[in-house]
C-alpha cells in the first residue's frame, strides 16, 4: 500500500512538471496559422498595432486541461504593444490585450503609470453607454450560447469598464469558465478580452443534500489538517458560501493537488472561513487556516477538490 501511494505521488508530480514546462502536449498550430487568426481577429474588431505580429511562445493551460495557446506578440521585447493568444486546438482567439491603446489613452489624459501617484481621470462613460459599447463588441466577437452575463464593473483606478460572462450547463455555472471584455472607461475603446474554457458538460444529478455536503466537508478538513485541534478551533469558523458548481476535480489519492482533472463534475463547493481576522500569535504555533474550500461530488458525496489559504 505504501509503495502504491509513493508511485501515485510521483506520477502526480511528474504530470505537474510536464504541465508547468509546457512539455506534456504538442501544439499542432503553425506560427503562420496563429498569426493569421490573430490578424483576422484584429481586422474584425477594428484593432491596429504599430508593429508586425510574431510568435512569442506556447502557453500551457496551468493544469486545468490539455489545451495550449500560441501567444502572438506585437512590439519588441521590453516594449510590447499587445498580445493575442490563439488556441492550438481550434485556432480561436482566447485572449487579447492592447497595452499601446492603454498608454495612448493615459498620455492623452495625463494619467501617470506610477501606481502610487493619484490618477485624476476625467468623467467616465455612464454604465448604460459603456454597456452598449461592450455588448456591441461581444456581438462582433460572437460569444458562445452557453454563457450568462453576470456583472459589469468599473475600475476607477485603472480606468476600465469590465463585463463578465460565466459559462453554464443545465442551469449550473462552471467554476472557472468565463469570458471578460474590458473597454477604456473614458472613451470606450476596446482594451482586452479573455475566454477561459476548461470544463466540459457532465451529469447534473443532485443526490447529496446541502447539509450533508457541509458535514462531509468538515470530515475531510479533520482528515487533511490533523495538526489543528478542531475541537478548539472549529467554533471560530463559519460557512461563508455553499454553491453547486461544475468543477475540475483536483484530488489524487485523497489529497489536494495542483493538477486538475479534465473531466468535469457537479459539486457542492463549500467555503469555510474564519469569523474574524486571524490571531497572528497562533500562526507560529499551528498551520492556521484562514479559508478552506472543500468540493463534494453532488451525486456520490465523494471528496473531489479543494484549496486553502493560511
pLDDT for the residue numbered 122: 96
Bridge partners, residue 270, by sequence:
242, 294
Count of other CB atoms within 10 angstroms of residue 1: 5
Angle at 197 between CA 193 and CA 198, to 5 degrees: 145
pLDDT for the residue numbered 26: 73
pLDDT for the residue numbered 19: 43
Whole-angstrom distance, CA of residue 87 vs CA of residue 37 = 9
Taking Cα atoms as reference points, which of 41, 45, 48 lies closest to residue 133? 45
Q: 114-155: per-residue pLDDT in tens?
A: 888 888 999 999 999 999 999 999 999 999 999 999 999 999
Whole-angstrom distance, CA of residue 38 vs CA of residue 175 = 28
Q: Is the pLDDT of residue 244 over 90?
A: yes
pLDDT for the residue numbered 18: 45
pLDDT for the residue numbered 24: 42
- Per-residue pLDDT, averaged over 172-188, amounts to 97
- Per-residue pLDDT, averaged over 236-254, amounts to 96
Full-prediction pTM beyond 0.75? yes
Q: 182-220: per-residue pLDDT in tens?
A: 999 999 999 999 999 999 999 999 999 999 999 999 999
Q: What is the DSSP letter of 111?
A: -
Q: 54-86: per-residue pLDDT in tens?
A: 999 998 865 666 679 999 999 999 999 999 999
Per the model's pLDDT, the better-predicted residue between 233 and 183 turns out to be: 183
Count of other CB atoms within 10 angstroms of residue 178: 18
Q: Is the pLDDT of residue 254 over 90?
A: yes
**Contact call for residues 72 and 54 (beta carbons, < 8 A):** yes
Amino acid at each position: 500500500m505504501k509503495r502504491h501511494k509513493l508511485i501515485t505521488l510521483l506520477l502526480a508530480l511528474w504530470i505537474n512538471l510536464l504541465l508547468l514546462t509546457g512539455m506534456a502536449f504538442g501544439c499542432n498550430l503553425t506560427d503562420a496559422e496563429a498569426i493569421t487568426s490573430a490578424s483576422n481577429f484584429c481586422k474584425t474588431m477594428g484593432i491596429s498595432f504599430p508593429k508586425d505580429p510574431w510568435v512569442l511562445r506556447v502557453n500551457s493551460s496551468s493544469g486545468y486541461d490539455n489545451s495550449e495557446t500560441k501567444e502572438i506578440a506585437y512590439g519588441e521585447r521590453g516594449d510590447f504593444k499587445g498580445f493575442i493568444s490563439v488556441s492550438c486546438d481550434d485556432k480561436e482567439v482566447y485572449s487579447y490585450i492592447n497595452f499601446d491603446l492603454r498608454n495612448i489613452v493615459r498620455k492623452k489624459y495625463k494619467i501617470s503609470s506610477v501606481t502610487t501617484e493619484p490618477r485624476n481621470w476625467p468623467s467616465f462613460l455612464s454604465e448604460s453607454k459603456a454597456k452598449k459599447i461592450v455588448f456591441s463588441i461581444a456581438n462582433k466577437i460572437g460569444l458562445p450560447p452557453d454563457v450568462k452575463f453576470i456583472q459589469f464593473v468599473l475600475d476607477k483606478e485603472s480606468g476600465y469598464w469590465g463585463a463578465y460572462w460565466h459559462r453554464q450547463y443545465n442551469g449550473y455555472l462552471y467554476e472557472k469558465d468565463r469570458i471578460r471584455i474590458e473597454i477604456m472607461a473614458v472613451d470606450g475603446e476596446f482594451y482586452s478580452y479573455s475566454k477561459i474554457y476548461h470544463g466540459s458538460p457532465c451529469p447534473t444529478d443532485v443526490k447529496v443534500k446541502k447539509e450533508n455536503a457541509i458535514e462531509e466537508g468538515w470530515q475531510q478538513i479533520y482528515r487533511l489538517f490533523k495538526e489543528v485541534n478542531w475541537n478548539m478551533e472549529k467554533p471560530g469558523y463559519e460557512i461563508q458560501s455553499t454553491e453547486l458548481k461544475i468543477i475540475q476535480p483536483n484530488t489524487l489519492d485523497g489529497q489536494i493537488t495542483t493538477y486538475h482533472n479534465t473531466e468535469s463534475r457537479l459539486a457542492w463547493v463549500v467555503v469555510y472561513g474564519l469569523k474574524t481576522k486571524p490571531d497572528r500569535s497562533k500562526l507560529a504555533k499551528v498551520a492556521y487556516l484562514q479559508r478552506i474550500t472543500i468540493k463534494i461530488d453532488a451525486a456520490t458525496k465523494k471528496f473531489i477538490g479543494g484549496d486553502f489559504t493560511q
